[in-house]
Chain A
């Protein structure tokens, strides 16, 4: 019977050498990441701003420039400065002459696949929604994504009624999507047959956002009539 040969214990790598290697690699990688972040920051920020402007100008077609505002419980004020809890962000769009062209704001609601985020245009003149655009959605191609291509559905947003009640505390009528073919009032959205869940999400997104924003915005709308130079 042969005795098994004891395996030669492997040479242990000293801890300092492990730490040195890891430290060196992390430092080099850290420098690369910070360099890339610094180098792309301006271009990425400009890209985000452009994308936002494009969507705002789409929902407020007459718009030529825009400024960012927030509606706080104490009133509206230009965005920037310290963040206020419960503030709703919105965008004020002006036409070429510097007159108020419309308001755009973001809304979000759970759709079929994920949260559907939209940007809608509000016209103070008719107190109605005049259009909406998608910010992000993962709805089913060919079904849920019809909300931006279906002409009959988009016709709902030619003048969707969002008048406030007499006390200016909430919308006079809740905006909601109704079953395809049963729209009877100007504040209802005729859903796309087969894409009811996504249509409802658009309705809910507009309603939730408008209920929060418009009671704060409408009483002070005069502040926004002219673009500040």
Chain B
């Protein structure tokens, strides 16, 4: 692989993790993000399930992109996505019933996660399989990071534990609202605030640098 191609692949990979992070930048797929991020384990399992579906369906969509007429492409993508969601549903039942119960309907709802259909339509249907899968992998890792950032904060504050291990000893009074739906919005708001503050600082710095040359 030439250096340019390598750099481009790395760029595809990093796009979803940082510049276009699905949770913190594009604010996509909020339904599972807010609903299942009550604990770090749930958040990670949901993230990994979504990762599997995203990477596999983008790979398959990209593989058949030349034979699918555009009139039936949405139907085709949905069938492919639904297939991998069903697979992941069976696999989680076989791995752990506890996680299956905790994630509940949100596993099946991965079908309508807009990150996945969005990636299939906007990226995988226009790029070769390897590029599509690398991009999907980056997006999924970005999604996992987003989910984990919420899940870990909510579990630590709302239950005083991380991955089920007690952090503050028996006298800790949990901040219960954090594991309830409002807590999801509060923590998400906090993270979005942090990210836009970082973005703003970067813009100000760039403007200050650019100011010397232009105008």
Q: Hey, which bits of chain A sit against chain B, CB under 8 A?
A: 13, 17-18, 21-22, 24-26, 28-29, 32-33, 36-37, 39-40, 43-44, 47-48, 51, 136, 140-143
Is the C-beta of B44 less than 8 angstroms from some C-beta in chain A? Answer: no
CA distance A142 to B178 in the complex (A): 11
Asked if B83 contacts A33 (CB within 8 A), the reply is: yes
Asked if B80 contacts A25 (CB within 8 A), the reply is: yes
B66 to chain A, nearest CB (A): 11
CA distance A26 to B80 in the complex (A): 8
Asked if B76 contacts A37 (CB within 8 A), the reply is: no
Q: Can you spell out 19 A-B residue pairs with CB atoms less than 8 angstroms apart? A: A13-B69, A18-B71, A21-B64, A21-B69, A21-B76, A25-B79, A25-B80, A33-B83, A37-B90, A40-B90, A40-B91, A40-B93, A47-B93, A47-B94, A51-B97, A136-B101, A141-B38, A141-B158, A141-B179
Q: Which residue of A lies closest to B90 (CB)?
A: A40
CA distance A79 to B176 in the complex (A): 43
Q: Which residue of A lies closest to B88 (CB)?
A: A36
Asked if A26 contacts B94 (CB within 8 A), the reply is: no
CA distance A43 to B75 in the complex (A): 32
Is the C-beta of B96 less than 8 angstroms from some C-beta in chain A? Answer: yes
CA distance A46 to B141 in the complex (A): 32
A43 to chain B, nearest CB (A): 4
Q: Given the complex, which residues of B lie within 8 Å of A25, measured CB to CB? A: 64, 68, 76, 79-80
Is the C-beta of B87 less than 8 angstroms from some C-beta in chain A? Answer: yes
Asked if A22 contacts B72 (CB within 8 A), the reply is: yes
Which of B67, B76, B180 sits near A140, CB closer than 8 Å? B180
Asked if B97 contacts A21 (CB within 8 A), the reply is: no
Is the C-beta of B108 less than 8 angstroms from some C-beta in chain A? Answer: no
Q: Given the complex, which residues of A lie within 8 Å of B84, measured CB to CB? A: 32
Q: Given the complex, which residues of B lie within 8 Å of A22, measured CB to CB? A: 72, 75-76
Asked if B93 contacts A21 (CB within 8 A), the reply is: no
| Interface SS of chain A | helix
Asked if B174 contacts A142 (CB within 8 A), the reply is: yes
A177 to chain B, nearest CB (A): 23
Q: Given the complex, which residues of A lie within 8 Å of B176, measured CB to CB? A: 141-143
Q: Given the complex, which residues of B lie within 8 Å of A136, measured CB to CB? A: 101
The contact string, 1 if C-beta is below 8 Å from chain A, for chain B 52-78, is 000000001000100111011001100
Is the C-beta of B86 less than 8 angstroms from some C-beta in chain A? Answer: yes
Interface residues of B in 151-165 (CB under 8 A from A): 158
Q: Which residue of A lies closest to B98 (CB)?
A: A51
CA distance A17 to B68 in the complex (A): 9
Given contacts A17-B69, A21-B69, A25-B68, 7 further A-B pairs with CB under 8 A are A13-B71, A21-B72, A22-B75, A40-B91, A44-B94, A141-B158, A141-B180
Which of A18, A24, A32, A48 sits near B87, CB closer than 8 Å? A32
CA distance A18 to B97 in the complex (A): 40
